[in-house]
Amino acid sequence: MNTTEQKNLEAVTAFLQDKVNENLLNETNQYFSQQVAEAFTNRKYEVDEIFVQGEKAIARIIISAVHTGGFAGNVPTNKPVKISQYRHFQVVDGKIVNHQGWFDTGTLLPQIQG
């Protein structure tokens, strides 16, 4: 990793560790993203891994939460779940210029299905 990538990694890490940004992590382009925030409560965010290449970075975030609301046809189970999220960042001169998230539902559904 070169110096610029190191700087970009630091910017992404700082962004993800700042609790002020947690609400931003609930937003994705997926049609059900608002449902995620409503159905899974008591959310805790943890950075699992970050890949950096030039101006790009992709982070995998693990959200621990409790399934307290309906999601994709599944009634609340009150079970603890772990939701994986990937978030892509574009970082220029150590500043995040845009980011876009994606929830993994392939590992989520089996946790809440009977």
Contact set with another protein (CB under 8 A): 30-32, 49, 51-53, 56, 58, 72, 84, 86, 88, 102-109
Nearer to another protein, 56 or 79 (CB): 56
Write down the least CB distance from residue 111 to another protein, Å.
12
Instruction: Give the residue carrying structure tokens 């210029």.
Output: 97
Q: How far is the CB of 12 from another protein (least distance, A)?
A: 13
Name which of 69 and 102 has its Cβ closer to another protein. 102
